Amino acid sequence: MNHSWWKESVVYQIYPRSFMDSNGDGIGDIQGIIMKLDYLKELGIDTIWLSPVYESPNDDNGYDISHYMKIMHEFGTMDDWDELLQEVHIRDMKLIMDLVVNHTSDEHEWFVQAKTSRENPYRDYYIWRDPKDGKEPNNWASNFGGSAWEYNEETKDYYLHLFSKKQPDLNWENEKLREEVYRMMKWWLDKGIDGFRMDVINFISKVDSMPDGEIKPGKEYASGSKFYRNGPMIHDYLKEMNEKVISHYDVITVGEMPGVTPDQAKDYTGEKRNELNMVFQFEHMGLDNGPNGKWDVQELNLIELKQSLSRWQYTLADSGWNSLYFNNHDQPRSVSRFGNDEKYRVESAKMLATLLHMMKGTPYVYQGEEIGMTNVRFDSIDSYKDIETLQAYSDLKQQGWSEQKVMESLFKKSRDNARTPMHWNDEENAGFTAGKPWLTVNPNYKSINVEAERSNEHSIFNYYKRLIHLRKQNELIVYGDYQLILEDDPEIFSYVRNYQDKKLLVICNFYDKEPIFKLPKGINFMTKQLLLSNYTVEEQSNIAEFTLQPYEARVYLLN
């Protein structure tokens, strides 16, 4: 397997609106990010993924882009962005941008033109269909609720929007559209960025006939996902993108791909495939979904999580590469979701980090994860801003859910859990802004904040620093083979990494009980060294059999 800088990186995702506000308007901005670059360097980060900062009307917080080569005025100017890139590179870090090309904003000039007439030159930049029996062309649901089609009065037909009606889908079958996208990508790469995270990139190829999906009981619309995820031309488009753009630069590419399987990911990320470096998959993110989807929350089954993560490790072992994450701007806080955000917040946050960062792949840290930020419990739906959350609230109420039941689901799964402003200190608004924050700050910032974490030797922040440093010092952690052990243990997630003549033993107690760890036969070693733990452990303690404390994590180097 080839060695590459992006395999050895640790990536930090910044959600600009919530990171740091430099001018007191309550909205994070580019100058705010520049102010905090030394903090990221201190943490050990070498690559920053910047969520969208392009010009946008903000129907979906920047994922609805109205101009790909301009900066959203709330975030600053292109001069600010140029300064950010320069300051990132001065610190020997890299910057990757979000590439959102499944759709644009309906306020993008292409769509403004396209909707005026069926003869407009930009018409075929988007996907249009005539009405069927006076209604939508098919029964597909938008990922944000309601129909995936919106009627356009001027042309008497419908356009497709797999997300908000203000996010019309682009028509990748149009070669002119593809060339526009490639030109835009080159423009950013020539400015010096170090890669792209590609938003729902496996949605860009649709089955042309667009057949109806199967409507589930109680639903008005059907998922059409099997007709637009990993579609018929997806590999052709990605190979073309790689040939015309990506292959000419030494950059990182990661494709967000809902519904992708390990075998499909192998095709997307295999080193000889010339498509992408890695994908964001969601298999492990759906394990706490009930029969009725995301908002029907169920308890996570650890054995299912072990099977899922291990399946990805094994399938991409020799061809392809894994991205490692529990958090991002679309997911609730992992310490609240998979850990214990009260009594064992510190221990469980460290355990989850250990479990993930010691695996094979490139780890992603989402802002605030490194200090153990938690989900938020807003008193009212009026405090939420996320378009998906607001639509879900309306839909679930219409389905007969009680107010309490709906709110409990939002507390657990709303995307706004990840989007509350970053906690920098215990001053007003957590030091995020001198003004009124765009989204209410989580009230627990008084005790959970960067300033407090930095000064505490045993903090989550300082644990992340050690985790990241360990990865940079040990090729074993980056390139070693993965082997799951104790496959059927319902409480312990443990695995071994093998590289040359060394082994890494990772032991994680996933719950607040005290199970007994027994080292399986066949894991032989002469010496052991405790590299990391989230409790005080005697170096000489016997690892053949011992009792784990709640959410305990240990990492041993075996020779």
pLDDT digit string, tens, across residues 79-119: 999 999 999 999 999 999 999 999 999 999 999 999 999 99
pLDDT of the residue at 100: 98
- Confidence (pLDDT) at 94: 98
| Element containing residue 412 per DSSP (H, E) | helix 403-413
Q: Which amino acid makes up residue 90?
A: I
Q: Residue 298 corresponds to which tokens in the numbers above?
A: 């169920």
The pLDDT value given to residue 430: 98
Q: Each residue of 468-490: b (16+ CB within 10 Å) or e? A: bebbeebebbbebebebbbeebe
CA distance 545 to 520: 10
Residue given tokens 């099977």 in the structure block: 307
Inter-CA distances, 521 with 307, 355, 496, 555, Å: 21, 22, 13, 18
- Residues whose CB is less than 8 angstroms from the CB of residue 154 and which lie 6 or more positions away in sequence, other chains included: 115, 116, 117
Catalytic residue among 106, 256, 267, 283: 256
CA distance 493 to 484: 8
| pLDDT given for residue 446 in this prediction | 98
Q: Over the stretch 376-422, which tens digit does the pLDDT of each residue have?
A: 999 999 999 999 999 999 999 999 999 999 999 999 999 999 999 99
Centroid of chain to Cα 1: 25
- Confidence class of residue 540 from pLDDT cuts 50, 70 and 90? confident
Q: What is the mean pLDDT of residues 125-131?
A: 98
Confidence of residue 541 (pLDDT cuts 50, 70, 90): confident
Angle at 164 between CA 163 and CA 170, to 5 degrees: 60
Higher local confidence (pLDDT), 462 or 524: 462
Rounded to the nearest integer, the mean pLDDT of the chain is: 97
May I ask the CATH architecture of the domain 481-558?
A: Sandwich (2.60)
pLDDT surpasses 90 at 286: yes
The pLDDT tens digits for 290-301 are 998 999 999 999
Mean pLDDT on 426-442: 98
256 carries an active-site annotation:
yes
pLDDT-based confidence at 523, cuts 50/70/90? very high
Asked if residue 189 has pLDDT above 90, the reply is: yes
pLDDT grade, residue 258 (50/70/90)? very high
Query: What's the average model confidence in pLDDT over 176-202?
Result: 98
Q: Which helix (H) or strand (E) holds 506?
A: strand 502-509
Biggest CA-to-CA distance, the chain: 77
**Which residues contact residue 118 at a Cβ distance below 8 angstroms, ignoring those fewer than 6 apart?**
128, 155, 157
Active-site residue, selected from the candidate residues 64, 194, 199, 275: 199
On the question of pLDDT at 27 being above 80, the answer is yes
Of the chain, the percentage scoring pLDDT greater than 90 comes to: 97
pLDDT of residue 218: 84
* Domain at 109-160, CATH homologous superfamily: Oligo-1,6-glucosidase; Domain 2 (3.90.400.10)
Given this model, what pLDDT does residue 389 score?
96
Distance CA 364, CA 327 (A): 8
Classified by CATH at the fold level, domain 11-104+175-465 comes out as TIM Barrel (3.20.20)
For residue 539, the model assigns a pLDDT of 79
Domain edges within the chain: 11-104+175-465, 109-160, 481-558
Residue 2 confidence (pLDDT): 87
Q: What is the mean pLDDT of residues 175-194?
A: 98
Q: What is the average pLDDT across 305-318?
A: 97
Please report the pLDDT score of residue 554 as a whole number.
98
Based on the residue annotation, tell me whether 175 is a catalytic residue of this protein: no
pLDDT of residue 236: 98
Name the least confident of 207-216, 377-386, 532-541.
532-541
What does the pLDDT average to over 239-265? 97
Predicted pLDDT of residue 538 = 87
Nearest to 251 by CA among 198, 199, 196: 196
Report H helices in 252-360. 262-269, 302-315, 334-337, 345-357
Q: Please give the Cα distance from 262 to 270 (Å, whole number).
A: 11
